[in-house]
Amino acid sequence: MAHEKFDVGGMTCAACQAHVDRAVCSLPGVQEVSVNLLSGSMTVDYDEGQLGPDDICAAVDRAGYSASPVSAGPGEAPGAPAARLESPTKKLEATAEAMKTRLVASIAFLAPLFYIGMGHMLGWPLPAVLADHAHAMTLALTELVLLLPILYLNRSYFINGFKSLAHRAPTMDALIAIGAAASVAWSVYAMFVMADQLACGDVHGAAATAMDNLYLESAGTILTLVTVGKYLEIRSKSKTGSAIEALIDLAPKTACVVADDGSEQTVDADAIQVGQTVRVRPGEAVPVDGVVLEGISAIDESALTGESIPQEKSPGDTVHAATINRTGSFTFRATRVGADTSLARIIQLVEDANATKAPISRLADKVAAVFVPAVLLIALVTFIVWMALTADVNEALTAGVAVVVISCPCALGLATPVAIMVGTGKGAEMGVLFKSAEALENLHKVDVVVLDKTGTVTQGRPAVTDILPAVRADGRTLSEKQLLKLAAALERSSEHPLAEAIMAAADERGIVARPVSDFAAVPGRGVTAREGANPIAAGNAQLMAELGIDIDRTQLEAFARDGKTPLFFAKNGELVGTIAVADEIKPTSPAAIGTLGHLGVHAIMLTGDNRTTADAIARRVGLDDVVADVMPADKERHVRDLQAAGHVVAMVGDGINDSPALARADVGLAIGAGADVAKKGADVVLMHSDLLDVARAIELSRAVIRNIKQDLFWALFYNSLGIPLAAGVLYPVLGWQLSPMFGAAAMSLSSVCVVSNALRLRGFRPTSTDMQQ
């Protein structure tokens, strides 16, 4: 099964999107198609044995559009290097600039055209040569000359619109083209009538025809107002990609490469090859991913992980593209370049999410597929009814054209993709990466969140929590530092995770472990050794019992209740102290659990740890529902049972041993990702390793879906109200009929309003989580 992305040209509205979708879906072997009107792109999952990219492009061409596969350049891996990624914002801005030129020129010709065409109705003074009834044809020809440049500047509406009619797949451009063409055609017919009247000497008749039957200014106004709306829409769209733009701008464009002879050369960042040595000086951005070779520095990784505190880096540590070197100079070996860097993969995730289609968009797709033909039918019926009732071609034509130009499938088609693009971009800014629009939508329905314990609720690594020297028989006690020094001497040769926690605590206090002799590990119990002539030991209660050393059982039970693991230390057959080690709770975990409850989401912790430790963690973070002693393979079953009970379940885990449960859940969230964004099995990647991001992601999802529903409601409401008004349903009551010019203005503004409403998501703040912090 192949998955390929295509650039699609010629799409202007939701109807275009629906036609392209339908044309590709009809091909044998196509499994799934997602067409993105906003970015002019399409992703297709298809069987390579049945068709290829050329067949897909040919189907799009037959539908009246153009398509080409998005592929890497010669010799490149699929995808583009981060430094060479083309910004969607810049493409939209270039389109907007070209449209602005067209718009300014259109307005320059429309202003005098409108003045001349409407001046007599508004009482505006006109030049004598145009005001005189004897010069009615001069007036008409002047209007036609002023309209011709507007028609030429906006010819794309006619080309695309009539082409879509020829393919029997009418689009928004078809509505505009038909409306403007009808106005022009009727006006040209009226000019022939005027010429005949003037030839017969009927000056007043020709003047009356000019006043009542020329719609040239209406055609010019319709085209110009639509262009105004398109311009404002594109300008607004360009702001929706600001998050991707910001990510792309993080990548430095140049880098300093160190040759084998030690010489340095500045090269384009996208020219760096795997294995090359790169130097990064203070204040510079890391150009690609790699491993530090020489030097020590502090790296600001907030762009990728959200961690505001710079991370110390020394030889052997990993650095990532777009992170900032704050202190010393260092060199590193490039390990991931181009599309393989962490930054490029984050950008790709955001773009892939934008390319997918949310389930909620299916309603708009179904409506858009039949919208334009339905509008044309309504316009025809309107014209016929008006002719039957009034026998006045002017009135009938006005009503028919008004119906055509006020209709707007664009508002319906833009409602979902614009909000999805802004929402996924905002998520990326927050460190929440949605892999698909479906994940973004499904998250708002979640009512149960299943949490893994280790690395999700807790830090995922053991740390020393208590250092308790014991009172010996002679009444003496060791200091905490002395006890930790003894512990470090014993544990320095051990590879047990608890030993690593003790060594880390010793390093933090500047304690250097002394060498010991006769070191021996006692499997499942601890270690023994000799410090000089003194026998020493460290281990659990079982080892102490074997050595005949008494321990405080009350203290042992207290540690168990708190979820801590005690290590007992003995010297010369006597207990000298206890050090407790535990996987500590993340500082934000209690606030995150509380916030999920505030959002009406029930949290459950699944852990393979024992019941006592699990209950201790649950008490400290405020969890009421805990399932302990669960093997990783059984987590998926628990998620399935919750779904069978009617719950919409989100699973939060580390994306490794939790993969089956993450895949089973309605939404899988991988936490603790850091720069590794390619978490398999997860629908959402949480970059900050912060449980609060689960609540933030849910709030963002709810805000996006609320925004989409608002846009769909107003788009449907606008068309449901606007089309009947244009058809003249109020004329018998109020004697009022909608002008095609006002219809064009309303149609243009409807799309702008939808995009503007979606842009409000850029100011989204997770209020409930902020209150908890």
How would residue 699 be classed by pLDDT, with cut points 50, 70 and 90? very high
Q: What percent of the chain has pLDDT over 70?
A: 85
Residue carrying the six token digits 């698909």: 436
Which CATH number is associated with domain 2-79?
3.30.70.100
Tens-place pLDDT, residues 363-385:
666 676 677 788 889 989 999 99
The pLDDT value given to residue 637: 87
Radius of gyration of the chain (CA): 36
Least Cα distance to 741 among 491, 398, 508, 434 occurs for 398
pLDDT of residue 303: 63
Name the more confident of 77 and 451: 451
Residue partners of 103: CB distance under 8 A and separation at least 6: 224, 227, 228, 231
Give pLDDT tens digits for 448-477. 999 888 778 887 778 888 889 988 878 888
308: pLDDT strictly greater than 70: no
- Number of C-beta neighbours around residue 426 at 10 A: 20
Whether residue 605 contacts residue 453, with contact meaning beta carbons closer than 8 Å, is answered with yes
Residue 397 in this model has a pLDDT that exceeds 50: yes
pLDDT score at 72: 42
Answer whether residue 73 shows pLDDT above 60: no
Higher pLDDT, 478 or 130: 478
**Structural domain boundaries in the chain:** 2-79, 90-240, 253-338, 433-458+587-693, 459-585
Top CATH class of 433-458+587-693 equals alpha beta
Is the confidence at residue 238, as pLDDT, over 80? no
Q: Which amino acid is at 589?
A: S
Residue 490 near residue 527 (C-beta atoms within 8 A)? yes
Q: Which of 246-255, 284-293, 648-657, 714-723 tops mean pLDDT?
A: 284-293
Among 47-56, 78-87, 143-152, 206-215, the range scoring the smallest mean pLDDT is: 78-87
Give the pLDDT confidence score for residue 283 in this predicted structure: 87
DSSP code for 456: I
Greater confidence (304 vs 523) lies with: 523
CATH number for region 459-585:
3.40.1110.10
* 190-199, 522-531, 680-689: least confident range: 680-689
Look over the chain and give the mean of its residue pLDDT values, rounded to a whole number: 81
- Closest by CA position to 672, among listed 364, 350, 431, 413: 431
Q: What confidence tier does 675 reach under pLDDT thresholds 50, 70, 90?
A: very low
Res. 184 pLDDT band, cuts 50 70 90: confident
pLDDT digits (tens, 9 = 90+) for 90-101: 677 777 888 899
Mean pLDDT over residues 152-158, rounded?
A: 91
Reply yes or no on whether the pLDDT at 614 is more than 50.
Answer: yes
Provide the pLDDT confidence category of residue 696 given band limits of 50, 70 and 90.
very high
Give the span between the Cα atoms of 99 and 236, in whole angstroms: 13
Instruction: Please tell me which residue in 452, 609, 666, 690 is annotated as part of the active site.
Output: 452
Specify the CATH architecture of the domain 253-338.
Distorted Sandwich (2.70)
Quickly list H helices, 443-496.
480-491
**169: which residues sit within 8 A by CB, 6+ positions away?**
15, 19, 63, 64
Distances (CA, A) of 148 to 106, 351, 758: 10, 41, 37
Residues 465, 468, 472, CA angle at the centre, nearest 5°? 165
- Across the strands, what pairs with 452? 606
Give tens-digit pLDDT for 282-303: 888 899 999 999 998 888 876 6
* Residue 78: per-residue pLDDT: 39
Q: Are strands 41-46 and 30-36 parallel, antiparallel or unpaired?
A: antiparallel
pLDDT at 305 over 60: no
Residue 361 has pLDDT above 70, yes or no: no
The Cα-based distances of 16 to 60, 419, 437, 554 in angstroms read: 11, 19, 20, 74
Q: What is the mean pLDDT of residues 130-140?
A: 78
Cα separations (Å) of 312 from 305, 327, 340? 14, 10, 24
| CB of 693 closer than 8 Å to CB of 686 | yes
Residue 80 pLDDT greater than 50, yes or no:
no
In the chain, the percentage of residues whose pLDDT exceeds 90 is: 17
How many Å apart are CA 647 and CA 640, to the nearest integer? 10
Catalytic annotation present for 624: no
Using the predicted structure, report yes or no on whether residue 602 has a pLDDT greater than 80: yes
